[in-house]
């Protein structure tokens, strides 16, 4: 298996999850360069990478720790020998940064939402296909063990006819959060709470319902935060298979994050997965019984980002090495963006 050389563009809040995932997959991957327009941010992530690598038991070769820093990504792409670029910049820049990297012959793992328009999403998918490169999207919650267990029950048809599903994202993003970076809550670079905070659970809901969308109704408003887009959104989705999905997404819950819950209701089964970030099974009931029903897969998470970036990287590396589609491809990343953009028509 080839050792893949990675670079990261955007060294802000979420980049730490990428660093953790790279350090966790260090036998098969290596961070060779990082880029941010703010140099201090790169120092922090490289320092963190070194600390994590040092913790690995197997006396890592020192040159694994050599990570170059760039403030201009085109220069980095030109000068460094890179196989894969992870894009963790503001959402409104994902399409341009992804397309530039693909055009330089790099595989791309892009943060969610993969882009803010369907035209951009389609262009990203098209260029990756034309160039024979992998495009993966960070919907890491699909790897949460309770979500994997639910997906298995769905694949085995244990729900019978699925009637409805609910995605609730009841979080708090206060004014300080929005003040941290001027792009947050803007139409051009972020979107509102549906596009930023709720996209993971909307993705899980549509993935579990297993059907294309027939029609959508939405209501949204900006109740409490001083932002351009919504701080609360509700979506009602009729899927083509007849089932109904309900999304309730809030950045306004007092006084702090409450829950991120996915519930699926079928003729012969009910599952509710909750916790801070869909990480704990709260209800698991089926008409039939299976051995794996008893497996306790719930786990605590220290932040709403969860623990999914590590398995996501493992899968993406394997997809490149075995020339197969990543588990969460561009086509998969498009589905929740499409739902949210349709909700934004209301």
Ligand X SMILES: NC(=O)c1ccc[n+]([C@@H]2O[C@H](COP(=O)([O-])OP(=O)(O)OC[C@H]3O[C@@H](n4cnc5c(N)ncnc54)[C@H](O)[C@@H]3O)[C@@H](O)[C@H]2O)c1
Instruction: Summarize as ranges the residues that interact with ligand X (CB under 6 A).
Output: 9-14, 35-38, 41, 73, 88-91, 93, 111-112, 138, 140, 181, 196, 305
Residues forming a β-bridge with 215: 238
**C-alpha atoms less than 13 angstroms from C-alpha of 274 in its C-beta half-sphere:** 10
DSSP letter at 171?
A: -
Q: What minimum distance in Å lies between the beta carbon of 1 and ligand X?
A: 26
Structure tokens at 281: 């099974």
Burial readout 35-52 (b: 16 or more C-beta within 10 A, e: otherwise): bbeeeebbeebbebbbeb
Q: How far apart are CA 291 and CA 100, in angstroms?
A: 48
The residue of the chain with the least Cβ separation from ligand X equals 12
| Rounded distance between C-alpha atoms, residue 131 and residue 122, angstroms | 14
CB nearer ligand X, residue 137 or residue 162 = 137
Cβ closest to ligand X, residue 42 vs residue 209: 42
CB of 161 to ligand X, least distance (A): 32
Minimum CB separation from ligand X for residue 73, in Å? 5
Residue (10 or 275) nearer to ligand X, CB? 10
CB of 130 to ligand X, least distance (A): 24
Residue in 247, 227, 228 with CA at minimum distance from that of residue 237 = 247
Q: Which is nearer to ligand X, 269 or 333 (CB)?
A: 333
91 vs 201, beta carbon nearer ligand X? 91
Give the shortest CB-120-to-ligand X separation in angstroms.
13
**Closer CB to ligand X, 113 or 245, in the complex:** 113
End-to-end CA distance of the chain: 49
Q: How far is the CB of 124 from ligand X (least distance, A)?
A: 14
What one-character DSSP code corresponds to residue 166?
A: E
Q: How far is the CB of 44 from ligand X (least distance, A)?
A: 10
E strand intervals along the chain: 4-9, 29-35, 68-70, 84-87, 107-111, 135-138, 162-170, 213-221, 232-239, 244-250, 259-266, 269-274, 280-286
Residue 36 or 280: the one with the smaller Cβ distance to ligand X is 36
**Tokens for 162?**
């699925």
């Amino acid at each position: 298996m080839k050792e893949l050389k990675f670079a990261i563009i955007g060294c802000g809040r979420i980049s730490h999850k990428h660093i953790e995932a790279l350090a966790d997959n260090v036998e098969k991957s290596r961070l060779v360069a990082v880029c941010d327009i703010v140099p201090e941010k790169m120092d922090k992530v490289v320092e963190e990478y070194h600390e994590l690598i040092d913790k690995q038991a197997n006396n890592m070769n020192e040159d694994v720790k050599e990570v170059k820093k760039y403030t201009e990504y085109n220069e980095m792409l030109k000068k460094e020998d890179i196989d894969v670029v992870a894009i963790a910049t503001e959402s409104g820049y994902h399409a341009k940064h992804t397309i530039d990297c693909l055009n330089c012959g790099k595989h791309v793992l892009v943060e969610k939402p993969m882009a803010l328009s369907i035209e951009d999403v389609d262009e990203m998918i098209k260029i990756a296909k034309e160039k024979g490169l992998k495009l993966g999207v960070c919907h890491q919650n699909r790897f949460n063990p309770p979500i994997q267990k639910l997906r298995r029950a769905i694949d085995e048809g244990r729900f019978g006819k699925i009637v409805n599903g609910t995605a609730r994202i009841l979080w708090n993003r206060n004014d300080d959060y929005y003040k941290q970076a001027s792009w947050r809550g803007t139409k051009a670079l972020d979107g509102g709470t549906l596009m930023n905070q709720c996209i993971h659970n909307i993705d899980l809901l549509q993935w579990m319902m297993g059907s294309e969308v027939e029609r959508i109704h939405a209501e949204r408003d900006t109740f409490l935060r001083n932002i351009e887009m919504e701080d609360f959104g509700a979506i009602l989705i009729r899927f083509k298979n007849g089932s109904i999905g309900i999304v309730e997404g809030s950045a306004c819950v007092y006084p702090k994050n409450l829950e991120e819950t996915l519930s699926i209701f079928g003729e012969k089964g009910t599952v509710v997965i909750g916790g801070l970030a869909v990480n704990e099974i709260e209800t698991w009931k089926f008409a039939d019984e299976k051995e794996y029903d008893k497996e306790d897969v719930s786990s605590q998470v220290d932040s709403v980002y969860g623990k999914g970036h590590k398995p996501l990287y493992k899968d993406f590396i394997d997809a490149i090495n075995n020339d197969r589609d990543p588990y969460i491809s561009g086509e998969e990343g498009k589905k929740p963006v499409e739902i949210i953009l349709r909700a934004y028509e209301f």
